[in-house]
Structure 1
Amino acid sequence: MVKERLVSTRDLECYIFVPKIKPLTSLLTARIIELAALHKAIIVCPDYRLLPESPGLDILSDLHTFYTWLHTSLRSFLISSFSDSRPTSDLSNILITGESAGGYMAIQSSLLGETKGVKAVIAHYPMIDLQDPWYSIPSHKEIFNQPPPSYPPGWLDAQLKVARTAAPVTSRIPKEEDLDLFVALLQQGRYTEILGADSSLFPLENLKKVKEERKPLMPMWIFHGDKDSIIPIQGTWKFMEEVKRVFGEDGAGKVESRVVVGAEHGFDNDEVGLEVDWVIEAQEWLKEYWP
Structure 2
Amino acid sequence: MSSSKFELFDRVDFDFKTVHGHALKTSILVPKNLQSKPRDSYATIVNWHGGGFVVGDRLYEGWLPVWLLDICLTNSAIFIAPDYRLLPEATGAEVLEDVEDFWRWLHNTLPTLTTIWNASPDLTRLARTGQSAGGYLAVQSGLLFPELSQIKLIASMGGSLNTDIPYCRILGPRQILGRSPPPPGKAESIVRTYVRNIKLQTVRASGNVIEMWDFLTCVLQQAYLGRWLGARGKEEVDVMKVLDRAETMPPIWLIHGLQDSVVPPLCSIGFVEKLKQTLPDVPLLLSLQPGDHGFEATRDGKEEWIQEGLEFIRKYWP
TM-score grouping bracket, smaller chain normalisation: 0.7 to 0.9
1:117 match: 150
1:142-176 Cα distance to aligned partner (Å, 9 max, x none): 10122232426632212112236361111112436
**Structure 1 residue 21: Cα displacement:** 6.7
TM-score normalised according to structure 2 size: 0.81
Distance verdict in 2 for CA 1:160–1:132, change over 3 Å: farther
Partner of 1:57: 93
Asked whether the 8 Å contact 1:64–1:114 carries over to 2, the reply is no
- Are 2:173 and 1:161 aligned? no
Q: 1:184 to 1:29 in 2, by over 3 A?
A: same
Which residue, out of 47, 51, 57, partners 2:83? Answer: 47
**2: distance between equivalents of 1:6 and 1:187?**
32
Q: Which has the higher strand share?
A: 2
Query: 5 Å matches for 1:233-252?
Result: 233-248=265-280, 251-252=281-282
SS where residue 250 of structure 2 aligns? coil
Say whether the 8 Å CA contact 1:137–1:189 is kept in structure 2: yes
- Are 2:316 and 1:280 aligned? no
C-alpha displacement of 1:132:
2.8
* CA shift for structure 1 position 30: 1.9
**Matching residue's letter, 2:69:** I
The answer for unaligned runs of 5 or more in structure 1 is: none
Q: Quote the RMSD (CA, aligned, Å).
A: 2.1
Q: Which residue does the alignment assign to 1:290?
A: 317
Alignment partner of 1:18: what SS? strand
Cα drift, residue 59 of structure 1:
0.2
Aligned AA (2:287) = R
Name the aligned partner's letter for residue 40 of structure 1.
S
Alignment of 1:3 with 2:31, yes or no, is: no
Q: CA deviation at 1:182?
A: 2.1
Residue 101 of structure 2 is aligned to residue 76 of structure 1: no
Matched position secondary structure for 1:165? coil
The 1:148/1:287 distance shift into structure 2, 3 A limit, reads: same
Percentage of pairs with the same residue:
26
Distance 2:224 2:236 in 1: 19
Structure 1 residues 135, 152: closer, same or farther in 2, change over 3 A?
closer
Partners of 2:284 and 2:188 lie apart in 1 by 44
Superposed CA deviations along residues 263-290 of structure 1, whole A, max 9, x for unmatched, are 1111122x52332211100011111101
Mapped to 2, the partners of 1:193 and 1:268 lie a distance apart of 28
Structure 2 gap ranges (5+): 1-12, 35-57
Q: Kindly report structure 1 stretches of 4+ aligned residues shifted beyond 6 Å.
A: none
Q: What does residue 219 of structure 2 align with? A: 185
Structure 2 distance, partners of 1:280, 1:164, is: 47
| Count of residue pairs the alignment pairs up | 276
Paired with 2:265 and 2:224, the residues of 1 have a C-alpha distance of 20
